[in-house]
Amino acid sequence: MESDGLGPFRLAPWFSERPWGRLDLRPWYSETGTKERVGEAWLTGPQCVVETGEFAGRTLAQVAAEAGERLVGAGGKDLVGKDGGAEFPLLVKLLFPREKLSVQVHPDDAMARSMGEPRGKTECWYVMDAEAEAKIALGLGVGVTVEAVRAAIGAGNLEELLEWVPVSAGEMVFVDAGTVHSIGPGVVLLETQQTSDVTFRMYDYGRGRELHLEEGLRALKTRTAAGKVKPRAMDGFVRLIEQKYFVVDRYDVAAGDEAIVPVDGAGCVVGLSGLATVVGEGCEAVELPMGRAVVVPSGRREVIVKTGAGASFVRCFAP
- Catalytically annotated residue among 119, 201, 292, 315: 201
- Before 166, cis peptide (omega within 30)? no
Residues with Cβ within 8 Å of 181's Cβ and at least 6 positions away in sequence, in order, are 103, 104, 105, 136, 137, 138, 139, 162, 175, 226
Tell me the per-residue pLDDT of 197-239, one tens digit each, with 9 for 90 and over: 999 999 998 889 999 999 999 999 999 999 999 999 999 999 9
Asked whether this chain's domains 9-229 and 232-317 adopt the same fold, the reply is yes
Q: Is the pLDDT of residue 113 over 50?
A: yes
* Domain ranges, ordered by start, for the chain: 9-229, 232-317
Q: What is the DSSP letter of 161?
A: G
Kindly tell me the burial class for residue 104, based on how many C-beta atoms sit within 10 Å of its own C-beta (0-12, 13-18, 19 or more): buried
* Predicted local distance difference test score (pLDDT) of residue 305: 97
Give mean pLDDT, residues 146-173: 96
Q: Which residue has the higher pLDDT, 318 or 79?
A: 318
Q: What architecture does CATH give domain 232-317?
A: Sandwich (2.60)
Distance of CA 49 to the CA centre of its chain: 17
Q: How much of the chain, in percent, has pLDDT values that exceed 90?
A: 83
Residues with Cβ within 8 Å of 168's Cβ and at least 6 positions away in sequence, in order, are 127, 130, 134
pLDDT classification of 248: cutoffs 50, 70, 90: very high
**Mean pLDDT score of the chain:** 92
Q: What architecture does CATH give domain 9-229?
A: Sandwich (2.60)
Q: Is the pLDDT of residue 261 over 80?
A: yes
pLDDT classification of 2: cutoffs 50, 70, 90: very low
Give mean pLDDT, residues 143-163: 95
Whether 201 sits among the annotated catalytic residues: the reply is yes
* Predicted local distance difference test score (pLDDT) of residue 278: 96
